Chain A
Amino acid sequence: MEQQIPSFLLRNDLSVLLDLLVADGYQLHGPQVQDGAITYASITALSDLPVGYQDQQKPGHYQLESEHNTRFFHWANGPQALKPLLYPAREVLWQAKRNASGSIQFIVPEQAIEKVAVIGVKACDLAALKLQDQHFLQGEYVDPGYQARREGLLLVAVNCSYAASTCFCVSTGDGPSAESGFDLALTELDEGFLVVADSEKGARFLTRLPLQDATAQQLDEASQQHETVTAMQTRRLEPIAVGQLNDAREHPQWQDIADRCLACGNCTMVCPTCFCHHQNDELVMKGDESQHIREWDSCFGESHGQLAGFQVRDTVKARYQQWMIHKLDSWQEQYGRSGCTGCGRCMSWCPAEIDFVAEANIIGGSDE
């Protein structure tokens, strides 16, 4: 869908959009401050949004500060965005019931489509969503749960006006502004928002909003803001060719990282594109019913590469290689691009302060 010239929505009229979405049957999800971080959860009103907050991030560090501005979205990101909504950390895949005669019946839970609108999605997370769509929907097998949740999703993106020191979406080509894959996109200015639609669904809401024509000054301000936030990103992931990191498995830096890495798996949990999960059975106490569960898993765990009598990756070095080589190198062969969208979460939430970008640049040879 061709994007039109943005229209202007007054700051407090964002609540009109929320009301329209609710009237249309959508549950609202959006950013809010929870446990000292910006988290996406259920919201009911504009007052739930993190007004005036800003995040200071660097490897091993995340700190929210109140900036006393009136912006809703003048922050970079928090530990999670869309992934837990579409691909829950824990999910029942099926239920097995055994009757007295020993017959087993398998029951797959119904996947009802629930309408969920997410307000304030960042460009890096939209790019990550496209990658999760490729993984769960566009291969040989379609994941029914993901598909149902995806169909009910409406995305209101927000172009970034602020970058944390961990942000590097400019170098991965995924931000700081949302270019596609959303229903509506907002550019936040001090007095309100420039709004565009990128889907029929989004356009239907656009026509019902109290919009004004955007002034030349507002359009100019928006493009200035884009330039400013682009320039704010000093962190840069240098391009990596297919096979480049895999061919560098002997690089001494891997062991240097492994000596610092705790193999805790935090990076994989906060990564918006990581898809690994394990499947387990949980038998109910009576013994006649069992739940087959899938839960997020990490390539840093011991069981990830374990098979009968053989451990594929028995060192932290081998596991770190799996994580980084897969994400930046072999992912390109799987999905046609790198699996990294530049959100920087793997660094902020790393308790060992490992700088993923700096390490990749060293191993890739662009920062000897």
Chain B
Amino acid sequence: MNKLAQSNFQAPLSATVEAFIQESPSIFTLRLQLCDSAARDEYSFMPGQFNMLYLFGIGEVPISIVSDPADSTLIDHTIRVVGRVTEGLAKLKVGDEVGIRGPFGRGWPLALARDKDLLIVTGGLGCAPVVAAINFALNRRAHYENIHIVQGVKHSDDLIWREQYDRWNRMNGVEVLLAADAAGPAWPFHTGQITELLDQVSLADDNCLVLICGPEGMMKAAAEKLIDDGISPFSIYVSLERNMQCAVGHCGHCQMGPDFLCKDGPVFVYPDVRHRLMQEGI
């Protein structure tokens, strides 16, 4: 566990907005820097971990960290406006202050992907937790064999970071496959389910790591398809989502079966959660 998270889990540290990047009409990235220089030096995280961001007087929300851990002094959070706190965060300006508690949770096991093919499957809008993993892997390109990125959106208009996908696709040994359940007229990519795209991926079945993030139904469908195709379930990792408030496994909201997603997850090896995905009420 992170030493800083241990000492500051109860109350936030103040942080300044260093940059505000509008990614789409409802998605933005906050680049934050801890105000206290000692805390800044001590802060470290791994892709897939999250911070609790505090908006003064309103409350906290769990947000994945998307930037590279090599520079832990500038911490990027990509946020979609979905509620009271995120609406307020969307109105912040450079120089404003917020609170940070974190980092929390277990991130992606990228060390296990070393010298393997990496398949990253994501659905939904941007799916920040895997963007952190993608950026991490691409910044250390030589550590991995082929990297496949498969992204699905509900509607083609929902795709953000289009230029980024184009840029990634041009990199050596990197393949980007995009799908939209419903597509507008100028959509050059696949129209349909993300699982249909997985047939196009040529993966070293016995030497790969798969990271999946998105709606539970999509994660389950993608993982089961890959298992049917011969990938070991133990090579598949998923990032799950529940209501998180305390982030330290005390408040009980993020329970899924015996796990507290905030501390036992949010990333799990697939066999540990396989039977629970899409189970009603769990």
Contact = CB atoms under 8 A, between A and B. Distances in A.
Interface of A: 93-94, 96, 98, 102-108, 135-136, 139-141, 143-144, 246, 249, 275-281, 283, 287, 290, 292, 294, 297, 299, 303-309, 312-313, 315, 317-319, 321-322, 326, 330-331, 333-334
Contact of A96 (B1, B56, B86, B248): B56
A294 B14 contact: no
A3 B253 CA distance: 40
Interface in B217-244: 241-243
A9 B82 CA distance: 64
A68 to B, nearest CB: 44
B258 A334 contact: yes
Nearest to A242: B258
B10 A144 contact: yes
Interface of B: 1, 6, 9-14, 35, 54, 56-60, 80, 82-83, 86, 95-99, 241-243, 245-246, 248-253, 255, 257-258, 263, 279-282
Contacts of B252: 275-277, 297, 299, 304
A280 to B, nearest CB: 7
Contact of A106 (B83, B99, B258): B99
Interface residues of chain B: helix, strand, loop or mixed (majority): loop
A340 B5 CA distance: 32
A140 B1 CA distance: 8
Nearest to A276: B252
B56 A290 contact: yes
A313 B98 CA distance: 32
A327 to B, nearest CB: 12
B242 A312 contact: yes
A102 B251 contact: no
A279 B11 CA distance: 12
A94 B11 contact: yes
B98 A104 contact: yes
Contacts of B95: 102
Nearest to A274: B252
Contacts of B248: 139-141
Contacts, number: 131
Nearest to A320: B281
Contact of A279 (B1, B80, B83, B245): B245
Contact of A294 (B1, B96, B251): B251
A319 B280 CA distance: 11
Contacts of A143: 250
Contacts of A294: 246, 251
Contacts of B54: 96, 292
A143 B83 CA distance: 28
B10 A276 contact: no
B57 A103 contact: no
Given A93-B10, A312-B282, 11 more contacts: A94-B10, A102-B95, A103-B35, A276-B252, A279-B245, A294-B246, A304-B252, A305-B253, A308-B80, A308-B83, A308-B86
B139 to A, nearest CB: 29
A279 B56 contact: no
B11 A104 contact: no
Contact of B82 (A93, A136, A308): A308
A326 B10 CA distance: 25
A198 to B, nearest CB: 28
A290 B253 CA distance: 23
Contacts of A141: 6, 9, 248-250, 263
Contacts of A313: 281
Given A108-B10, A281-B58, A135 B253 contact: no
A279 B59 contact: yes
B50 to A, nearest CB: 13
B281 A321 contact: yes
In this complex, the member of A303, A307, A315 whose beta carbon has the largest number of chain B beta carbons within 10 angstroms is A307
Nearest to B245: A279
Contacts of B58: 281, 283
Given A98-B56, A280-B59, A106 B253 contact: no
6 closest residue pairs by CB, A with B: A318-B281, A276-B252, A333-B258, A308-B82, A94-B11, A141-B248
Contacts of B80: 308
A334 B254 CA distance: 14
A106 B6 contact: no
A313 B255 CA distance: 12
Nearest to A335: B258
B57 A96 contact: yes
A249 B280 CA distance: 9
Nearest to B52: A279
A283 B57 contact: yes
Nearest to A305: B243
A189 to B, nearest CB: 42
Chain B CB within 10 Å — which of A246, A313, A318 has the most?
A: A246
A312 B59 contact: no
B250 A102 contact: no
5 contacts: A96-B57, A104-B99, A277-B252, A305-B243, A318-B280
Contact of A139 (B10, B13, B249): B249
Contacts of A322: 255, 281
A297 B258 contact: no
A292 to B, nearest CB: 8
A333 B257 CA distance: 9
Contact of B59 (A106, A139, A281, A321): A281
A93 B11 contact: yes
Contacts of A305: 242-243, 253
